[in-house]
Chains A and B, each alone.
Chain A
Amino acid sequence: MSTKVYAGTEVTVNDEGFFADAGQWREEMAPEIAREAGLGTLTPRHWQVVTFMRHEYAEKGTGPSVRALSKTSGVSVKELYQLFPKGPAKLAAKIAGIPKPRGCI
Protein backbone atom coordinates (compact mmCIF):
# COMPACT_ATOMS: atom_id res chain seq x y z
CA MET A 1 0.00 0.00 0.00
CA SER A 2 1.11 3.54 -0.73
CA THR A 3 -0.48 6.92 -1.11
CA LYS A 4 -1.08 9.08 -4.16
CA VAL A 5 -2.45 12.55 -4.68
CA TYR A 6 -5.25 12.90 -7.21
CA ALA A 7 -7.17 16.16 -7.67
CA GLY A 8 -5.35 17.55 -4.64
CA THR A 9 -6.49 14.78 -2.30
CA GLU A 10 -4.36 12.02 -0.83
CA VAL A 11 -5.69 8.50 -1.45
CA THR A 12 -4.47 4.99 -0.56
CA VAL A 13 -3.62 2.68 -3.46
CA ASN A 14 -2.26 -0.89 -3.64
CA ASP A 15 0.97 -1.99 -5.35
CA GLU A 16 -0.72 -2.03 -8.76
CA GLY A 17 -2.20 1.44 -8.29
CA PHE A 18 -5.80 0.38 -7.58
CA PHE A 19 -7.71 2.27 -4.90
CA ALA A 20 -7.71 0.52 -1.54
CA ASP A 21 -10.92 2.32 -0.60
CA ALA A 22 -13.41 3.02 -3.39
CA GLY A 23 -14.99 5.62 -1.09
CA GLN A 24 -11.96 7.90 -1.51
CA TRP A 25 -12.61 8.26 -5.25
CA ARG A 26 -14.11 11.40 -6.77
CA GLU A 27 -14.95 12.12 -10.40
CA GLU A 28 -12.29 14.85 -10.70
CA MET A 29 -9.63 12.21 -10.02
CA ALA A 30 -10.50 10.07 -13.07
CA PRO A 31 -8.74 12.17 -15.75
CA GLU A 32 -5.51 12.16 -13.73
CA ILE A 33 -5.60 8.39 -13.18
CA ALA A 34 -6.35 7.92 -16.89
CA ARG A 35 -3.40 10.07 -17.92
CA GLU A 36 -1.14 8.12 -15.58
CA ALA A 37 -2.39 4.87 -17.16
CA GLY A 38 -1.39 6.14 -20.59
CA LEU A 39 -4.84 7.15 -21.84
CA GLY A 40 -5.61 10.50 -23.40
CA THR A 41 -8.67 12.59 -22.67
CA LEU A 42 -11.64 10.64 -21.36
CA THR A 43 -14.48 10.72 -23.91
CA PRO A 44 -18.18 10.27 -23.05
CA ARG A 45 -17.78 6.60 -24.10
CA HIS A 46 -14.93 6.14 -21.59
CA TRP A 47 -17.12 7.75 -18.95
CA GLN A 48 -20.00 5.45 -19.77
CA VAL A 49 -17.76 2.47 -18.99
CA VAL A 50 -16.20 4.04 -15.88
CA THR A 51 -19.61 4.98 -14.47
CA PHE A 52 -20.86 1.49 -15.22
CA MET A 53 -17.90 -0.07 -13.39
CA ARG A 54 -18.69 1.97 -10.27
CA HIS A 55 -22.33 1.06 -10.51
CA GLU A 56 -21.53 -2.68 -10.79
CA TYR A 57 -19.10 -2.46 -7.89
CA ALA A 58 -21.68 -0.72 -5.70
CA GLU A 59 -24.24 -3.43 -6.52
CA LYS A 60 -22.14 -6.57 -6.51
CA GLY A 61 -19.03 -5.71 -4.54
CA THR A 62 -16.79 -6.51 -7.49
CA GLY A 63 -16.12 -5.08 -10.94
CA PRO A 64 -17.12 -7.11 -14.03
CA SER A 65 -14.74 -8.96 -16.38
CA VAL A 66 -14.47 -7.80 -20.00
CA ARG A 67 -17.11 -10.27 -21.18
CA ALA A 68 -19.59 -9.35 -18.47
CA LEU A 69 -18.81 -5.69 -19.07
CA SER A 70 -19.60 -5.91 -22.79
CA LYS A 71 -22.75 -7.95 -22.20
CA THR A 72 -24.23 -5.56 -19.67
CA SER A 73 -22.83 -2.12 -20.50
CA GLY A 74 -23.84 -2.04 -24.15
CA VAL A 75 -20.27 -1.34 -25.30
CA SER A 76 -18.91 -4.09 -27.58
CA VAL A 77 -15.70 -6.00 -26.80
CA LYS A 78 -14.10 -4.43 -29.86
CA GLU A 79 -14.90 -0.90 -28.74
CA LEU A 80 -13.87 -1.64 -25.15
CA TYR A 81 -10.40 -2.54 -26.40
CA GLN A 82 -10.31 0.59 -28.57
CA LEU A 83 -11.19 2.71 -25.55
CA PHE A 84 -8.86 0.88 -23.14
CA PRO A 85 -6.17 -0.87 -25.20
CA LYS A 86 -4.21 -2.08 -22.18
CA GLY A 87 -7.10 -4.10 -20.77
CA PRO A 88 -10.64 -2.65 -20.52
CA ALA A 89 -11.86 -4.14 -17.23
CA LYS A 90 -8.55 -3.57 -15.52
CA LEU A 91 -8.03 0.01 -16.69
CA ALA A 92 -11.64 1.09 -16.29
CA ALA A 93 -11.58 -0.30 -12.73
CA LYS A 94 -8.43 1.63 -11.96
CA ILE A 95 -9.88 4.86 -13.33
CA ALA A 96 -13.16 4.20 -11.50
CA GLY A 97 -11.32 3.78 -8.20
CA ILE A 98 -12.52 0.22 -7.57
CA PRO A 99 -10.48 -2.99 -7.00
CA LYS A 100 -9.13 -4.90 -9.97
CA PRO A 101 -11.78 -7.39 -11.16
CA ARG A 102 -10.81 -11.02 -10.59
CA GLY A 103 -11.99 -13.65 -13.02
CA CYS A 104 -10.62 -15.77 -15.83
CA ILE A 105 -13.06 -15.07 -18.63
Chain B
Amino acid sequence: MTNDAVTSNGTIEKVSIVVSKGSLEGVYPALIMANGARAEGIEANLFFTFFGLDAIHKARHEHIKLATVGNPGLHLATWAGGLPGVSSVMTHYMAHKMGQLDIPPISEFIEMIADTGAGLYACQASVDLFGLTRDDFIEQVKDIITVGEFYDLAAGGQIIFT
Protein backbone atom coordinates (compact mmCIF):
# COMPACT_ATOMS: atom_id res chain seq x y z
CA MET B 1 0.00 0.00 0.00
CA THR B 2 1.27 3.46 -0.78
CA ASN B 3 0.48 6.58 1.18
CA ASP B 4 1.14 10.01 -0.33
CA ALA B 5 1.18 11.68 3.06
CA VAL B 6 4.31 9.79 3.96
CA THR B 7 7.44 10.16 1.89
CA SER B 8 9.52 7.19 0.78
CA ASN B 9 11.79 7.56 3.80
CA GLY B 10 8.81 7.46 6.17
CA THR B 11 8.64 11.10 7.26
CA ILE B 12 5.48 13.23 7.45
CA GLU B 13 5.64 16.29 5.18
CA LYS B 14 2.32 18.02 5.86
CA VAL B 15 -0.48 17.98 8.47
CA SER B 16 -3.88 19.64 8.40
CA ILE B 17 -5.44 19.86 11.84
CA VAL B 18 -9.17 20.36 12.39
CA VAL B 19 -10.12 22.16 15.61
CA SER B 20 -13.78 21.51 16.40
CA LYS B 21 -13.92 22.11 20.17
CA GLY B 22 -14.09 25.43 21.99
CA SER B 23 -12.81 24.29 25.37
CA LEU B 24 -9.29 24.79 26.72
CA GLU B 25 -8.56 21.07 26.63
CA GLY B 26 -10.11 20.93 23.16
CA VAL B 27 -7.94 23.68 21.68
CA TYR B 28 -4.46 23.19 23.21
CA PRO B 29 -3.66 19.74 21.82
CA ALA B 30 -4.28 20.97 18.27
CA LEU B 31 -2.08 24.04 18.84
CA ILE B 32 0.73 21.96 20.33
CA MET B 33 0.56 19.55 17.41
CA ALA B 34 0.59 22.36 14.83
CA ASN B 35 3.45 24.20 16.51
CA GLY B 36 5.37 20.97 16.99
CA ALA B 37 4.90 20.10 13.33
CA ARG B 38 6.38 23.44 12.24
CA ALA B 39 9.28 23.01 14.66
CA GLU B 40 10.07 19.75 12.86
CA GLY B 41 9.90 21.46 9.49
CA ILE B 42 6.52 19.92 8.67
CA GLU B 43 4.02 22.09 6.79
CA ALA B 44 0.92 22.73 8.93
CA ASN B 45 -2.59 24.11 8.48
CA LEU B 46 -5.24 24.67 11.13
CA PHE B 47 -8.91 24.54 10.18
CA PHE B 48 -11.24 25.96 12.84
CA THR B 49 -14.78 24.67 12.73
CA PHE B 50 -17.87 24.78 14.95
CA PHE B 51 -17.00 25.83 18.52
CA GLY B 52 -13.33 25.65 17.60
CA LEU B 53 -13.90 29.05 15.95
CA ASP B 54 -13.73 30.63 19.41
CA ALA B 55 -9.97 30.08 19.35
CA ILE B 56 -9.60 32.63 16.51
CA HIS B 57 -12.51 34.86 17.52
CA LYS B 58 -11.21 38.32 18.51
CA ALA B 59 -13.57 38.74 21.45
CA ARG B 60 -13.40 35.16 22.67
CA HIS B 61 -9.94 33.72 22.15
CA GLU B 62 -8.68 35.16 25.42
CA HIS B 63 -11.58 33.63 27.32
CA ILE B 64 -11.42 29.95 26.42
CA LYS B 65 -12.41 27.89 29.44
CA LEU B 66 -11.74 24.44 30.76
CA ALA B 67 -14.83 22.19 30.70
CA THR B 68 -15.60 21.37 34.33
CA VAL B 69 -18.88 19.59 33.61
CA GLY B 70 -18.94 16.30 31.72
CA ASN B 71 -15.19 15.97 32.06
CA PRO B 72 -14.44 12.82 34.10
CA GLY B 73 -10.70 13.33 33.61
CA LEU B 74 -10.87 16.26 35.99
CA HIS B 75 -11.88 13.92 38.88
CA LEU B 76 -14.32 16.50 40.14
CA ALA B 77 -17.94 15.66 41.07
CA THR B 78 -20.24 16.74 38.24
CA TRP B 79 -22.40 18.83 40.57
CA ALA B 80 -19.30 20.67 41.84
CA GLY B 81 -18.11 21.39 38.30
CA GLY B 82 -21.38 23.15 37.58
CA LEU B 83 -21.17 25.61 40.47
CA PRO B 84 -20.79 29.26 39.41
CA GLY B 85 -17.16 30.27 39.00
CA VAL B 86 -15.68 26.77 39.14
CA SER B 87 -14.82 26.72 35.45
CA SER B 88 -13.09 30.11 35.78
CA VAL B 89 -11.13 29.06 38.85
CA MET B 90 -10.01 25.80 37.24
CA THR B 91 -9.07 27.66 34.04
CA HIS B 92 -6.96 30.11 36.06
CA TYR B 93 -5.30 27.26 37.89
CA MET B 94 -4.52 25.52 34.61
CA ALA B 95 -3.18 28.77 33.09
CA HIS B 96 -0.92 29.17 36.12
CA LYS B 97 0.44 25.63 35.77
CA MET B 98 0.97 26.14 32.05
CA GLY B 99 2.72 29.44 32.65
CA GLN B 100 5.21 27.63 34.88
CA LEU B 101 6.00 25.32 31.97
CA ASP B 102 6.24 28.28 29.59
CA ILE B 103 3.20 27.17 27.60
CA PRO B 104 1.76 30.40 26.18
CA PRO B 105 -1.91 31.46 26.55
CA ILE B 106 -4.09 30.47 23.58
CA SER B 107 -4.17 33.96 22.01
CA GLU B 108 -0.38 34.29 22.12
CA PHE B 109 0.15 30.68 21.03
CA ILE B 110 -2.02 31.17 17.94
CA GLU B 111 -0.10 34.30 16.95
CA MET B 112 3.14 32.40 17.35
CA ILE B 113 1.84 29.52 15.23
CA ALA B 114 0.88 31.98 12.48
CA ASP B 115 4.43 33.37 12.69
CA THR B 116 5.84 29.88 12.12
CA GLY B 117 4.18 29.99 8.71
CA ALA B 118 1.26 27.68 9.51
CA GLY B 119 -2.02 28.60 7.82
CA LEU B 120 -5.09 29.45 9.92
CA TYR B 121 -8.48 28.97 8.28
CA ALA B 122 -12.08 29.33 9.41
CA CYS B 123 -14.82 26.94 8.28
CA GLN B 124 -17.36 28.62 5.99
CA ALA B 125 -20.34 26.52 7.15
CA SER B 126 -19.68 27.30 10.82
CA VAL B 127 -19.10 30.99 10.11
CA ASP B 128 -22.52 31.09 8.38
CA LEU B 129 -24.13 29.07 11.16
CA PHE B 130 -22.96 31.44 13.88
CA GLY B 131 -23.58 34.57 11.80
CA LEU B 132 -19.93 35.65 11.91
CA THR B 133 -17.88 37.71 9.44
CA ARG B 134 -14.17 38.10 8.62
CA ASP B 135 -14.02 41.04 11.04
CA ASP B 136 -14.86 38.78 13.97
CA PHE B 137 -11.58 36.94 13.56
CA ILE B 138 -8.01 37.80 14.44
CA GLU B 139 -5.93 39.19 11.57
CA GLN B 140 -3.75 36.05 11.38
CA VAL B 141 -6.67 34.10 9.87
CA LYS B 142 -5.81 33.68 6.20
CA ASP B 143 -9.27 32.94 4.86
CA ILE B 144 -12.73 31.52 5.42
CA ILE B 145 -12.88 28.37 3.34
CA THR B 146 -15.34 25.61 2.41
CA VAL B 147 -14.81 21.99 3.30
CA GLY B 148 -13.89 21.30 -0.32
CA GLU B 149 -11.20 23.95 -0.21
CA PHE B 150 -9.95 22.43 3.03
CA TYR B 151 -9.51 19.06 1.32
CA ASP B 152 -7.62 20.76 -1.53
CA LEU B 153 -5.36 22.38 1.03
CA ALA B 154 -4.88 19.12 2.90
CA ALA B 155 -4.19 17.08 -0.23
CA GLY B 156 -1.06 14.96 -0.01
CA GLY B 157 -0.80 15.31 3.75
CA GLN B 158 -2.21 13.89 6.96
CA ILE B 159 -5.49 15.14 8.44
CA ILE B 160 -5.85 15.24 12.22
CA PHE B 161 -9.28 15.84 13.77
CA THR B 162 -9.47 17.23 17.29
Contacts and interface: CB of A to CB of B under 8 A. Distances in A.
Interface residues of B, number: 15
Interface in A73-105: 76-78, 81, 85-91, 104-105
B158 to A, nearest CB: 17
B115 A87 contact: no
A50 B116 CA distance: 19
B115 A76 contact: yes
Contact of A90 (B40, B101, B112, B115): B40
User: What does DSSP make chain A's interface, helix, strand, loop or mixed?
Assistant: helix
Contacts, number: 40
A90 B102 contact: no
A81 B116 contact: yes
Interface residues of A, number: 17
Contacts of A5: none
Interface string B14-52: 000000000000000000100110111100000000000
Interface of B: 32, 35-36, 38-41, 101-104, 112, 115-117
Interface of A: 65-68, 76-78, 81, 85-91, 104-105
